[in-house]
Amino acid sequence: QSPWGQLSKGFPTRKKSNPTNSQILVRRNGRPMKRK
């Protein structure tokens, strides 16, 4: 956790309603994202 409260260690830190979230198709480790 950062000094201003940002989570780390693999926790999701992006806002769910970000418009560019749909453009992220593959995770950083190469695995595909789970689509609902």
Q: Which tokens is 5 given?
A: 């409260």
pLDDT at 16 over 80: no
Which residues, in sequence order, are CB contacts of 14 under 8 Å at separation 6+? 21
What is the rounded distance in angstroms from the CA atom of residue 7 to the CA atom of residue 35?
23
What is the rounded distance in angstroms from the CA atom of residue 29 to the CA atom of residue 6?
21
Please, what is the average pLDDT of the chain?
76
Residue 36's pLDDT is 65
Arithmetic mean of pLDDT, 8-34: 75
Residue 15's pLDDT is 76
Residue 6's pLDDT is 77
pLDDT at 28 over 70: yes
